Protein backbone atom coordinates (compact mmCIF):
# COMPACT_ATOMS: atom_id res chain seq x y z
CA UNK A 1 0.00 0.00 0.00
CA UNK A 2 1.14 3.56 -0.71
CA UNK A 3 0.16 5.14 2.61
CA UNK A 4 2.59 8.11 2.50
CA UNK A 5 1.41 9.25 -0.93
CA UNK A 6 -2.25 9.17 -0.06
CA UNK A 7 -1.62 10.55 3.39
CA UNK A 8 -0.10 13.68 1.92
CA UNK A 9 -2.88 13.91 -0.61
CA UNK A 10 -5.43 13.90 2.18
CA UNK A 11 -3.65 16.70 4.00
CA UNK A 12 -1.76 14.90 6.75
CA UNK A 13 -4.55 13.49 8.84
CA UNK A 14 -4.73 12.84 12.56
CA UNK A 15 -3.28 9.71 14.12
CA UNK A 16 -6.14 9.24 16.58
CA UNK A 17 -8.39 6.28 15.81
CA UNK A 18 -11.93 6.76 17.09
CA UNK A 19 -14.20 3.84 17.88
CA UNK A 20 -16.92 5.14 15.57
CA UNK A 21 -17.75 2.91 12.62
CA UNK A 22 -20.38 3.43 9.95
CA UNK A 23 -22.81 1.00 8.41
CA UNK A 24 -21.66 -2.56 8.96
CA UNK A 25 -20.09 -4.35 6.00
CA UNK A 26 -23.51 -5.44 4.75
CA UNK A 27 -24.83 -1.88 4.73
CA UNK A 28 -21.86 -0.58 2.76
CA UNK A 29 -22.12 -3.47 0.29
CA UNK A 30 -25.84 -2.83 -0.21
CA UNK A 31 -25.15 0.83 -1.05
CA UNK A 32 -22.36 -0.18 -3.45
CA UNK A 33 -24.59 -2.74 -5.18
CA UNK A 34 -27.38 -0.20 -5.64
CA UNK A 35 -24.80 2.11 -7.19
CA UNK A 36 -23.45 -0.60 -9.49
CA UNK A 37 -26.88 -1.20 -11.00
CA UNK A 38 -26.72 2.38 -12.30
CA UNK A 39 -23.14 2.48 -13.56
CA UNK A 40 -22.51 3.19 -17.22
CA UNK A 41 -20.55 0.30 -18.82
CA UNK A 42 -17.58 2.54 -19.61
CA UNK A 43 -17.52 3.74 -16.01
CA UNK A 44 -17.58 0.18 -14.67
CA UNK A 45 -14.79 -0.89 -17.03
CA UNK A 46 -12.57 1.94 -15.82
CA UNK A 47 -13.44 1.24 -12.18
CA UNK A 48 -12.56 -2.44 -12.63
CA UNK A 49 -9.20 -1.50 -14.15
CA UNK A 50 -8.42 0.60 -11.08
CA UNK A 51 -9.57 -1.93 -8.48
CA UNK A 52 -8.21 -5.05 -10.16
CA UNK A 53 -5.25 -3.96 -12.31
CA UNK A 54 -3.76 -7.47 -12.43
CA UNK A 55 -7.01 -9.03 -13.58
CA UNK A 56 -9.01 -6.34 -15.37
CA UNK A 57 -12.60 -7.08 -16.26
CA UNK A 58 -15.55 -5.15 -17.57
CA UNK A 59 -17.90 -6.78 -15.06
CA UNK A 60 -16.28 -6.74 -11.62
CA UNK A 61 -18.21 -6.00 -8.45
CA UNK A 62 -17.53 -2.98 -6.25
CA UNK A 63 -19.39 -4.34 -3.21
CA UNK A 64 -16.40 -6.39 -1.94
CA UNK A 65 -14.32 -3.23 -1.47
CA UNK A 66 -17.09 -1.14 0.10
CA UNK A 67 -16.01 -1.86 3.69
CA UNK A 68 -12.25 -1.77 2.96
CA UNK A 69 -11.81 1.64 4.59
CA UNK A 70 -13.03 0.26 7.93
CA UNK A 71 -10.83 -2.81 7.71
CA UNK A 72 -7.60 -0.83 7.24
CA UNK A 73 -8.22 1.77 9.94
CA UNK A 74 -6.08 -0.11 12.44
CA UNK A 75 -3.12 0.43 10.08
CA UNK A 76 -4.17 3.79 8.61
CA UNK A 77 -5.06 5.61 11.81
CA UNK A 78 -4.78 8.95 10.07
CA UNK A 79 -7.93 8.09 8.09
CA UNK A 80 -10.18 7.75 11.15
CA UNK A 81 -11.54 11.33 11.25
CA UNK A 82 -12.59 11.11 7.60
CA UNK A 83 -15.40 8.70 8.42
CA UNK A 84 -17.58 11.20 10.27
CA UNK A 85 -18.28 14.87 11.00
CA UNK A 86 -19.57 16.55 14.12
CA UNK A 87 -20.28 20.03 15.45
CA UNK A 88 -19.19 21.31 18.84
CA UNK A 89 -22.69 22.66 19.51
CA UNK A 90 -24.63 19.62 18.30
CA UNK A 91 -26.57 17.63 20.95
CA UNK A 92 -29.49 15.73 19.46
CA UNK A 93 -32.31 15.36 20.04
CA UNK A 94 -32.67 18.64 21.91
CA UNK A 95 -30.21 20.66 19.76
CA UNK A 96 -29.41 20.00 16.09
CA UNK A 97 -26.85 22.27 14.41
CA UNK A 98 -24.72 21.39 11.40
CA UNK A 99 -22.50 23.10 12.42
CA UNK A 100 -23.25 25.73 15.06
CA UNK A 101 -21.22 28.74 16.09
CA UNK A 102 -18.48 26.49 17.45
CA UNK A 103 -17.82 24.97 14.03
CA UNK A 104 -16.77 21.40 13.35
CA UNK A 105 -15.01 19.12 15.81
CA UNK A 106 -11.42 18.24 14.98
CA UNK A 107 -8.91 19.68 12.58
CA UNK A 108 -9.71 21.57 9.42
CA UNK A 109 -10.47 19.31 6.45
CA UNK A 110 -10.59 16.17 8.61
CA UNK A 111 -14.16 14.97 8.28
CA UNK A 112 -16.30 12.93 5.93
CA UNK A 113 -17.38 15.98 3.92
CA UNK A 114 -13.79 17.00 3.23
CA UNK A 115 -12.93 13.34 2.67
CA UNK A 116 -15.49 12.97 -0.11
CA UNK A 117 -14.24 16.14 -1.78
CA UNK A 118 -10.56 15.28 -1.46
CA UNK A 119 -10.68 11.73 -2.78
CA UNK A 120 -12.90 12.93 -5.62
CA UNK A 121 -10.17 15.44 -6.47
CA UNK A 122 -7.54 12.69 -6.49
CA UNK A 123 -9.66 10.67 -8.93
CA UNK A 124 -10.24 13.69 -11.18
CA UNK A 125 -6.46 14.06 -11.41
CA UNK A 126 -6.10 10.36 -12.25
CA UNK A 127 -8.65 10.65 -15.08
CA UNK A 128 -6.76 13.61 -16.52
CA UNK A 129 -3.44 11.77 -16.23
CA UNK A 130 -4.90 8.74 -17.98
CA UNK A 131 -6.22 10.93 -20.76
CA UNK A 132 -2.74 12.44 -21.20
CA UNK A 133 -0.92 9.07 -20.90
CA UNK A 134 0.89 10.28 -17.78
CA UNK A 135 0.02 7.45 -15.40
CA UNK A 136 2.53 5.54 -13.30
CA UNK A 137 2.29 2.60 -10.91
CA UNK A 138 2.20 4.96 -7.94
CA UNK A 139 -0.57 7.03 -9.54
CA UNK A 140 -2.63 3.89 -10.13
CA UNK A 141 -2.18 2.73 -6.53
CA UNK A 142 -3.17 6.18 -5.27
CA UNK A 143 -6.31 6.10 -7.42
CA UNK A 144 -7.19 2.61 -6.18
CA UNK A 145 -7.08 3.73 -2.56
CA UNK A 146 -8.97 6.95 -3.31
CA UNK A 147 -11.72 5.01 -5.09
CA UNK A 148 -12.10 2.60 -2.17
CA UNK A 149 -12.31 5.52 0.22
CA UNK A 150 -14.87 7.32 -1.96
CA UNK A 151 -17.20 4.29 -2.09
CA UNK A 152 -16.98 4.01 1.68
CA UNK A 153 -17.20 7.69 2.61
CA UNK A 154 -20.38 8.25 0.61
CA UNK A 155 -21.87 5.31 2.48
CA UNK A 156 -20.77 6.76 5.83
CA UNK A 157 -22.26 10.12 4.91
CA UNK A 158 -25.71 8.52 4.69
CA UNK A 159 -25.56 7.08 8.22
CA UNK A 160 -27.04 9.77 10.53
CA UNK A 161 -24.83 8.93 13.50
CA UNK A 162 -21.75 9.70 11.40
CA UNK A 163 -22.93 13.28 11.24
CA UNK A 164 -23.00 14.04 14.96
CA UNK A 165 -20.27 13.96 17.58
CA UNK A 166 -22.59 13.40 20.53
CA UNK A 167 -21.40 10.43 22.61
CA UNK A 168 -18.93 9.54 19.84
CA UNK A 169 -21.67 9.15 17.28
CA UNK A 170 -23.84 7.14 19.66
CA UNK A 171 -21.13 4.67 20.66
CA UNK A 172 -21.37 5.93 24.24
CA UNK A 173 -25.17 5.93 24.35
CA UNK A 174 -26.34 2.69 25.98
CA UNK A 175 -29.72 1.33 24.90
CA UNK A 176 -31.57 -1.97 24.89
CA UNK A 177 -32.79 -3.74 21.77
CA UNK A 178 -34.86 -6.90 22.00
CA UNK A 179 -33.70 -7.19 25.60
CA UNK A 180 -30.00 -6.95 24.75
CA UNK A 181 -27.80 -4.13 26.00
CA UNK A 182 -26.08 -2.40 23.09
CA UNK A 183 -25.34 1.17 22.04
CA UNK A 184 -27.15 3.48 19.67
CA UNK A 185 -24.43 3.32 17.02
CA UNK A 186 -24.37 -0.49 16.94
CA UNK A 187 -28.15 -0.48 16.70
CA UNK A 188 -28.05 1.66 13.55
CA UNK A 189 -24.85 0.07 12.29
CA UNK A 190 -26.14 -3.49 12.13
CA UNK A 191 -28.95 -4.56 14.45
CA UNK A 192 -31.79 -2.75 12.67
CA UNK A 193 -30.61 -4.06 9.29
CA UNK A 194 -30.20 -7.59 10.63
CA UNK A 195 -33.75 -7.50 11.94
CA UNK A 196 -34.99 -6.30 8.57
CA UNK A 197 -33.17 -9.06 6.70
CA UNK A 198 -34.81 -11.67 8.95
CA UNK A 199 -38.31 -10.35 8.34
CA UNK A 200 -38.34 -9.72 4.59
CA UNK A 201 -41.25 -11.10 2.55
CA UNK A 202 -40.26 -14.49 1.12
CA UNK A 203 -41.16 -13.51 -2.44
CA UNK A 204 -37.96 -11.44 -2.65
CA UNK A 205 -35.83 -14.57 -2.37
CA UNK A 206 -36.72 -15.08 -6.05
CA UNK A 207 -35.57 -12.95 -9.00
CA UNK A 208 -37.60 -9.89 -9.94
CA UNK A 209 -38.24 -8.85 -13.57
CA UNK A 210 -35.51 -6.20 -13.54
CA UNK A 211 -32.49 -7.67 -15.38
CA UNK A 212 -30.29 -4.68 -14.58
CA UNK A 213 -30.74 -5.48 -10.89
CA UNK A 214 -30.47 -9.26 -11.12
CA UNK A 215 -27.22 -9.32 -13.06
CA UNK A 216 -25.52 -7.23 -10.38
CA UNK A 217 -26.51 -9.44 -7.43
CA UNK A 218 -23.91 -11.84 -6.05
CA UNK A 219 -25.95 -14.39 -4.09
CA UNK A 220 -25.46 -12.44 -0.85
CA UNK A 221 -27.74 -12.69 2.15
CA UNK A 222 -28.94 -9.17 1.45
CA UNK A 223 -29.98 -9.78 -2.19
CA UNK A 224 -33.70 -9.96 -1.25
CA UNK A 225 -33.34 -6.64 0.54
CA UNK A 226 -31.91 -4.99 -2.59
CA UNK A 227 -34.69 -6.47 -4.72
CA UNK A 228 -37.28 -4.95 -2.44
CA UNK A 229 -35.55 -1.54 -2.43
CA UNK A 230 -35.72 -1.47 -6.23
CA UNK A 231 -39.13 -3.06 -6.71
CA UNK A 232 -41.02 -1.05 -4.10
CA UNK A 233 -38.80 1.99 -3.75
CA UNK A 234 -36.80 3.07 -6.81
CA UNK A 235 -38.79 1.99 -9.83
CA UNK A 236 -41.63 4.00 -11.35
CA UNK A 237 -44.51 4.12 -8.91
CA UNK A 238 -42.22 3.28 -6.00
CA UNK A 239 -42.11 5.01 -2.63
CA UNK A 240 -39.43 7.49 -3.67
CA UNK A 241 -40.43 8.04 -7.29
CA UNK A 242 -41.23 11.71 -6.76
CA UNK A 243 -38.15 12.58 -4.71
CA UNK A 244 -35.19 10.77 -6.25
CA UNK A 245 -34.45 13.66 -8.60
CA UNK A 246 -33.72 15.79 -5.54
CA UNK A 247 -31.21 13.23 -4.29
CA UNK A 248 -29.11 13.86 -7.39
CA UNK A 249 -29.36 17.63 -7.31
CA UNK A 250 -27.08 20.24 -5.80
CA UNK A 251 -28.23 23.81 -5.09
CA UNK A 252 -27.60 26.28 -7.89
CA UNK A 253 -25.82 28.40 -5.29
CA UNK A 254 -23.78 25.93 -3.24
CA UNK A 255 -24.77 25.79 0.42
CA UNK A 256 -22.28 27.18 2.88
CA UNK A 257 -22.21 25.96 6.49
CA UNK A 258 -22.95 28.53 9.16
CA UNK A 259 -19.39 28.03 10.41
CA UNK A 260 -16.22 27.42 8.38
CA UNK A 261 -16.00 23.93 6.90
CA UNK A 262 -13.11 22.02 5.42
CA UNK A 263 -11.53 23.69 2.40
CA UNK A 264 -10.61 21.37 -0.42
CA UNK A 265 -10.72 21.03 -4.17
CA UNK A 266 -14.03 21.79 -5.78
CA UNK A 267 -15.14 20.83 -9.29
CA UNK A 268 -17.94 22.85 -10.78
CA UNK A 269 -20.43 21.31 -13.13
CA UNK A 270 -23.46 23.52 -13.50
CA UNK A 271 -26.12 20.89 -14.26
CA UNK A 272 -27.97 18.49 -12.03
CA UNK A 273 -28.82 14.85 -12.65
CA UNK A 274 -32.44 14.26 -13.59
CA UNK A 275 -34.90 11.56 -12.57
CA UNK A 276 -37.25 10.23 -15.21
CA UNK A 277 -39.07 7.27 -13.72
CA UNK A 278 -38.12 3.66 -14.38
CA UNK A 279 -34.99 1.93 -13.14
CA UNK A 280 -33.56 2.03 -16.65
CA UNK A 281 -34.31 5.72 -17.12
CA UNK A 282 -32.92 6.48 -13.69
CA UNK A 283 -29.67 4.82 -14.70
CA UNK A 284 -29.53 6.80 -17.94
CA UNK A 285 -30.25 10.02 -16.08
CA UNK A 286 -27.43 9.30 -13.64
CA UNK A 287 -24.95 8.99 -16.50
CA UNK A 288 -26.36 11.84 -18.60
CA UNK A 289 -24.49 14.36 -16.49
CA UNK A 290 -21.18 13.15 -17.90
CA UNK A 291 -21.68 14.55 -21.37
CA UNK A 292 -22.81 17.93 -20.10
CA UNK A 293 -20.17 19.05 -17.64
CA UNK A 294 -16.45 19.64 -17.43
CA UNK A 295 -14.55 17.81 -14.70
CA UNK A 296 -12.85 20.98 -13.47
CA UNK A 297 -14.11 24.42 -12.61
CA UNK A 298 -14.26 27.22 -10.08
CA UNK A 299 -14.14 26.61 -6.35
CA UNK A 300 -17.46 27.92 -5.02
CA UNK A 301 -17.63 26.50 -1.51
CA UNK A 302 -15.26 24.70 0.89
CA UNK A 303 -16.81 21.29 0.08
CA UNK A 304 -19.74 21.83 -2.29
CA UNK A 305 -20.24 22.84 -5.88
CA UNK A 306 -23.20 22.53 -8.22
CA UNK A 307 -22.46 18.89 -9.08
CA UNK A 308 -21.04 17.24 -5.97
CA UNK A 309 -22.29 18.70 -2.70
CA UNK A 310 -21.60 16.53 0.36
CA UNK A 311 -22.64 19.24 2.80
CA UNK A 312 -25.99 19.87 1.10
CA UNK A 313 -26.61 16.12 0.82
CA UNK A 314 -25.68 15.46 4.45
CA UNK A 315 -27.58 18.30 6.11
CA UNK A 316 -31.10 16.76 5.98
CA UNK A 317 -29.65 13.37 6.96
CA UNK A 318 -28.13 15.00 10.04
CA UNK A 319 -31.57 16.36 10.95
CA UNK A 320 -32.77 12.77 11.43
CA UNK A 321 -30.69 12.73 14.61
CA UNK A 322 -33.18 15.13 16.18
CA UNK A 323 -36.28 13.90 14.39
CA UNK A 324 -35.85 10.18 15.03
CA UNK A 325 -32.47 8.66 15.82
CA UNK A 326 -31.91 9.93 19.38
CA UNK A 327 -34.75 8.92 21.73
CA UNK A 328 -35.71 11.53 24.29
CA UNK A 329 -34.87 9.11 27.10
CA UNK A 330 -31.19 9.66 26.34
CA UNK A 331 -31.42 13.42 26.91
CA UNK A 332 -30.20 13.46 30.50
CA UNK A 333 -28.26 16.64 31.16
CA UNK A 334 -24.63 16.39 32.13
CA UNK A 335 -25.58 17.42 35.70
CA UNK A 336 -28.40 14.94 36.07
CA UNK A 337 -27.73 12.01 38.42
CA UNK A 338 -27.29 8.70 36.66
CA UNK A 339 -28.35 5.49 38.38
CA UNK A 340 -25.59 3.05 39.16
CA UNK A 341 -27.27 0.31 37.15
CA UNK A 342 -29.63 2.15 34.81
CA UNK A 343 -32.44 0.55 32.94
CA UNK A 344 -31.49 1.41 29.40
CA UNK A 345 -34.35 2.49 27.10
CA UNK A 346 -35.77 -0.39 25.07
CA UNK A 347 -35.89 0.61 21.39
CA UNK A 348 -37.38 -2.53 19.84
CA UNK A 349 -40.81 -0.96 20.25
CA UNK A 350 -43.42 0.30 17.76
CA UNK A 351 -42.65 3.94 18.57
CA UNK A 352 -38.99 3.53 17.58
CA UNK A 353 -37.99 0.43 15.60
CA UNK A 354 -41.54 0.11 14.32
CA UNK A 355 -41.49 3.66 13.00
CA UNK A 356 -38.12 3.11 11.30
CA UNK A 357 -39.52 0.02 9.61
CA UNK A 358 -42.87 1.54 8.62
CA UNK A 359 -41.27 4.67 7.17
CA UNK A 360 -38.56 2.71 5.33
CA UNK A 361 -35.89 4.90 6.90
CA UNK A 362 -32.94 2.51 6.43
CA UNK A 363 -34.00 1.55 2.92
CA UNK A 364 -34.33 5.18 1.87
CA UNK A 365 -30.93 6.15 3.28
CA UNK A 366 -29.19 3.25 1.52
CA UNK A 367 -31.02 3.89 -1.76
CA UNK A 368 -30.08 7.56 -1.54
CA UNK A 369 -26.45 6.68 -0.88
CA UNK A 370 -26.35 4.23 -3.78
CA UNK A 371 -27.91 6.64 -6.27
CA UNK A 372 -25.53 9.43 -5.29
CA UNK A 373 -22.51 7.14 -5.39
CA UNK A 374 -23.48 6.07 -8.91
CA UNK A 375 -23.85 9.70 -9.97
CA UNK A 376 -20.38 10.60 -8.70
CA UNK A 377 -18.72 7.51 -10.21
CA UNK A 378 -20.37 8.05 -13.59
CA UNK A 379 -19.35 11.71 -13.53
CA UNK A 380 -15.78 10.67 -12.88
CA UNK A 381 -15.35 7.64 -15.11
CA UNK A 382 -17.95 7.28 -17.86
CA UNK A 383 -16.85 8.06 -21.42
CA UNK A 384 -18.77 11.20 -22.49
CA UNK A 385 -18.75 10.09 -26.12
CA UNK A 386 -20.54 6.86 -25.24
CA UNK A 387 -23.15 8.16 -22.81
CA UNK A 388 -25.66 9.28 -25.42
CA UNK A 389 -25.40 5.96 -27.30
CA UNK A 390 -26.08 3.71 -24.32
CA UNK A 391 -29.35 1.80 -24.10
CA UNK A 392 -29.52 -0.38 -21.00
Q: Residue 177 in 3-state DSSP?
A: strand
- Classify the C-alpha dihedral 294-35-50-121 as positive or negative: positive
Gap between the Cα atoms of 93 and 84, Å rounded: 18
Whole-angstrom Cα distance, residue 28 to residue 232? 20
- Of 36, 22, 73, 138, the closest CA to residue 374 belongs to 36
Instruction: Write out the DSSP string of 78-141.
Output: GGGGGG---BTT-BTTTB--SS-TT-BSSSTT-SHHHHHHHHHHHHHHHHHHHHTT---HHHHH
Judge whether 101 and 9 are in contact, CB under 8 Å: no
Query: What phi and psi values does residue 4 have, to the nearest 5 degrees?
Result: -60, -40
- Kindly list the catalytic residues: 23, 28, 70, 73, 83, 152, 156, 162, 185, 189
Amino acid sequence: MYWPTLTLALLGLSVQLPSVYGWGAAGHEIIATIAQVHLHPTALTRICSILYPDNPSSSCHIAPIAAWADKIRIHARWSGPLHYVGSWDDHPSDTCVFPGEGGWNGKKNENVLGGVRNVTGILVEWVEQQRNNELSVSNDARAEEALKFLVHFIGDMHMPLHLTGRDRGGNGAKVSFDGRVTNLHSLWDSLLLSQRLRTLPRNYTHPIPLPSVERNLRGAIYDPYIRRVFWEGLREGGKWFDEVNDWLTCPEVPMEPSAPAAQSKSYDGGRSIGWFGSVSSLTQSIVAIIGLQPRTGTTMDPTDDTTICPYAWAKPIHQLNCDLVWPSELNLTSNAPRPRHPDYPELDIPEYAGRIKDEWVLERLMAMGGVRLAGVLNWLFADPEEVGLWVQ
